[in-house]
Structure 1
């Protein structure tokens, strides 16, 4: 059984690509209001709210499988390719995984349409931990919640 892996999915949304990307880069503090069942709180560890800039560190409190969890992450942006990369630093996922990195890439699919390609890369500590399907599904759900918010 492989210890390292990658999960990839694509979700199409009715939102211009730059609008979705901008929310992650400049309006990250609004996500707990957009998806309160999933994300309860985001705290600044290093950086500020005005720019969730490249290299800033945040602590996310979220609920998955009816269980409260926390992750500290460092974010990386590629403004040209509309890529948001979140590198896990510490938190509950590291009870089972050595590395945990999520990437959103926003791709234009026409006027006011985008595809969000979500990639979750991980390395398990040993053969026992489950695959991180629930985290991958949660990030896809977050993309749909953001779409609903942006359409208002």
Structure 2
């Protein structure tokens, strides 16, 4: 069994790429009011926009009790609407030595956008299952944000 891996999902949304990207890039503190899977996002170091700032997310995964993860934005590419998050601590790192999430938002011809989530991970041992539930969480959060932006 492979210890390192990568999972990807692409999700078509109705919202404009710039608006969706802005929520993740500069206004993620609003996400708990938008998605019922995300309960809180608290700032621990820095600010809401600067790469290197540390935030703690409280979320529900597979209907389990709330979990927490501290992350930092490792890279931002505003031109290509790409953000790379790196997990620093939390329950996810009990099963994974490293865990990174990358999101890229691309405008589609006409209306809408394409959101691509990539999860890069390294398991602590080969008995750990692939982190598919985290990809499902990203998909649900993406749909919730899209619904919110389209309704607004």
Smaller-chain TM-score range?
A: over 0.9
When normalised by structure 2's length, the TM-score is 0.94
How many equivalent residue pairs?
A: 149
CA displacement, residues 7-51 of structure 1 (integer Å, 9 cap, x when unaligned): 011000011111111111221111000002x100111011224xx
**What are the residue-to-residue correspondences of 1:64-83 with 2, within 5 Å?**
64-67=61-64, 68-75=66-73, 76-83=75-82
Taking the aligned partners of 2:59 and 2:142, their CA distance within structure 1 comes to 15
Residue of structure 2 equivalent to 1:85: 84
Residue of structure 2 equivalent to 1:53: 50
CA-based RMSD of the aligned residues comes to 1.0
Taking the aligned partners of 1:48 and 1:107, their CA distance within structure 2 comes to 25
Residue of structure 1 equivalent to 2:13: 13
CA displacement, residues 88-126 of structure 1 (integer Å, 9 cap, x when unaligned): 011000110000000110011123310001100100000
When normalised by structure 1's length, the TM-score is 0.94
Pair 1:63 & 2:60 matched: yes
Structure 1 residue ranges (4+ consecutive) displaced by more than 3 angstroms after TM superposition: none
Pair 1:140 & 2:135 matched: no
| Helix, strand or coil at the partner of 1:98 | strand
Give ranges in structure 2 of 5+ residues lacking alignment: none
Taking the aligned partners of 1:118 and 1:2, their CA distance within structure 2 comes to 21
Residue of structure 1 equivalent to 2:26: 26
Taking the aligned partners of 2:104 and 2:141, their CA distance within structure 1 comes to 14
Structure 1 residue 149: Cα displacement: 0.5
| Helix, strand or coil at the partner of 1:64 | coil
Structure 1 residue 60: Cα displacement: 0.4
Structure 1 residue 146: Cα displacement: 0.5
